[in-house]
Amino acid sequence: MNVSYFIARHIAPGRSEAYARPVIRIAVVSIALGLALMIASVAIVIGFKHSISNKVVGFSAPLQIVAFTRNESLEESPVTIGTKFLKKLHSYPEITHIQYTAQKGGVLKTHDQIQGIILKGVGKDYNWNFLKENLIAGHLPDINTDKPGRQVLISQKLATKLRLKPGDAVRIWFIGKEATAALGRKLIISGIYNTGIEEFDNRFLIGDLRQIQQLNGWKPNQVGSVELQVRNFNKLKSVAQKIYENIPYNLNINTIYDTYPEIFNWLGLLDTNVVVILVLMILVAGITMVSTLFILIIERTGMVGILKTLGANNHTIQKIFLYKAAYIIGRGMFWGNLLGLFFYFIQYYFRLFRLNPVSYYVSYVPVELSVSHFLLLNAGTFFLCLIMLIIPSFYIMRVEPASALRYE
């Protein structure tokens, strides 16, 4: 029989515990609020990272194979598809989809405005799922035609600024192959999309790849980049390294981290913020519990003296108070979990807390929490708080039975 656990279970708050009762309540509230805040913080950070990463990856693939060049302008150098290396990519188990694209800078002119844009040309193998989900008006451009399609998607931001709507015709001017004259193309707005990410919405139109091939004087088997979708985004860097080790000298591979470093650096700062929050909350809860344990021991000094007189050793008495403290921590964690999960489900289903998409890329606070993260938060909070209580529990060794019995 575990004597320490038995005694701890049967310690009832007495009338003499004038200080212990309110302090225990404060400890329970402190742990509850701390754990609830930790659950909310982790859920928000994971939600932010996944929501924004999915947007960036949906618009621009995780991996891009491009021509190896020092050219840093918007004019891409062609990549010839159908080579032995590119065909071999289909056999990589980590790669789930391959599509061909190209980009070309231009100037969009309406009757009263001029706007610099980038036309992104896509082929028949392009995955439209992301743009389909973010389409707010019109329809996707039809590129399954015999001739280069003239339909394009435009962002809501550009459409509002230029006062355009689906069905409107626009003229876009591009630099020709020889860079000596401008080439004009009359294109039709087929639909309007909105990703919420300014890096895309401020610049990109989506159209037929063959338009860019024609403008650049490329052959049908020449594209600007080969975009690769991967099975596991967490293994992106290792997949990129494996491809890089086998890539020809005239090609290079870029990850989404290289293409949009400012977005992913910002997401990386969120990890630092949540670590600081977790450390502070655990410290606050731990310090509160240390104070609570000291008060419990002081108010139970008489009981400690009696137990020592009856032959109980310091280790046994220490365990009594640690069991009592574990019970208090458990009560606080119970209410903390209720509060944290209440916030999570309310925000997940009703999206009560809204954001400015211009600053945060999303219009509401996204939340995402896995079972493993939830269990780790609970286990970490419980054991760290309990470990912090081991040191103050050694105060019991200083209690002398003769002087302790005076409290009774």
Question: Per-residue pLDDT averaged across 317-322, rounded?
Answer: 85
Last residue of one domain, picked from the residues 214, 238, 256: 256
Per-residue model confidence (pLDDT) at position 200: 93
- Answer yes or no: do 338 and 276 share one domain: yes
- Tokens 């290079």: give the residue: 252
Question: Per-residue pLDDT averaged across 6-28, rounded?
Answer: 71
- Answer yes or no: do 159 and 38 share one domain: no
Whether pLDDT at 15 is above 50: no
pLDDT digit string, tens, across residues 35-62: 999 999 999 999 999 999 999 999 999 9
Q: What residues contact residue 177 under an 8 Å CB cut-off, 6+ apart?
A: 215, 216, 217
- Answer yes or no: do 156 and 48 share one domain: no
Whether pLDDT at 316 is above 80: yes
Q: Compute the distance between CA of residue 87 and CA of residue 318 in angstroms, rounded to an integer.
A: 69
Whether pLDDT at 344 is above 70: yes
Helices 301-309/261-299 angle, 10° precision: 70
Count structural domains, the chain.
Answer: 2
- Answer yes or no: do 328 and 305 share one domain: yes
Per-residue model confidence (pLDDT) at position 55: 93
- Answer yes or no: do 247 and 268 share one domain: no
- How high is the mean pLDDT of the chain? 88
Helices 261-299/20-59 angle, 10° precision: 170
Whether pLDDT at 14 is above 60: no
Last residue of one domain, picked from the residues 228, 256, 284: 256
Q: What residues contact residue 71 under an 8 Å CB cut-off, 6+ apart?
A: 77
Model confidence at 16, in pLDDT bands (50, 70, 90)? very low
Rg of the chain on CA atoms, in Å: 32
Model confidence at 175, in pLDDT bands (50, 70, 90)? confident
For the chain, the distance separating the N- and C-terminal CA atoms, rounded to the nearest angstrom, is 27
Q: Compute the distance between CA of residue 101 and CA of residue 128 in angstroms, rounded to an integer.
A: 13
Question: Per-residue pLDDT averaged across 23-39, rounded?
Answer: 92
According to DSSP, the β-strands at 114-122 and 95-109 are: antiparallel
Per-residue model confidence (pLDDT) at position 389: 86
Whether pLDDT at 304 is above 90: no
- Answer yes or no: do 159 and 208 share one domain: yes
Whether pLDDT at 350 is above 80: yes
Phi and psi at residue 134, in whole multiples of 5°?
-105, 15
Length of the chain: 408
Query: 370-373 long-range contacts, Cβ below 8 Å, gap at least 24?
Result: 370/46, 373/42, 373/46
Whether pLDDT at 83 is above 90: no
- Both tokens of 231, joined, read 């099975």
Whether pLDDT at 407 is above 60: no
137 compared with 10, residue with greater pLDDT? 137
According to DSSP, the β-strands at 95-109 and 169-175 are: antiparallel
Whether pLDDT at 221 is above 70: yes
- Worst-scoring range by mean pLDDT, 88-102, 170-184, 344-358? 170-184
- Answer yes or no: do 269 and 375 share one domain: yes
Question: Per-residue pLDDT averaged across 278-286, rounded?
Answer: 90
- Answer yes or no: do 238 and 168 share one domain: yes
Question: Per-residue pLDDT averaged across 325-343, rounded?
Answer: 94
Residue 348: beta bridge partners? none
Give the containing element (helix H, strand E) for 257. helix 256-259
Q: State percent of the chain over pLDDT 70.
A: 92
Decide if 274 contacts 6 (C-beta within 8 A).
Answer: no
- Answer yes or no: do 27 and 76 share one domain: no
Domain range for residue 69? 62-256
- Answer yes or no: do 66 and 207 share one domain: yes
For 263-282, b/e burial (b = at least 16 CB within 10 A) is: bbeebeebeeebeebbeebb
Last residue of one domain, picked from the residues 221, 256, 291: 256
- pTM to 2 decimal places: 0.85
- Worst-scoring range by mean pLDDT, 41-55, 65-79, 115-129, 359-373? 65-79
Per-residue model confidence (pLDDT) at position 75: 79
- Tokens 């690769």: give the residue: 228
- Answer yes or no: do 245 and 172 share one domain: yes
Whether pLDDT at 306 is above 60: yes
Question: Per-residue pLDDT averaged across 2-13, rounded?
Answer: 72
Question: Per-residue pLDDT averaged across 288-296, rounded?
Answer: 86
- Answer yes or no: do 190 and 49 share one domain: no
pLDDT digit string, tens, across residues 110-169: 888 899 999 999 999 999 999 999 999 999 999 998 999 999 999 999 999 999 999 999
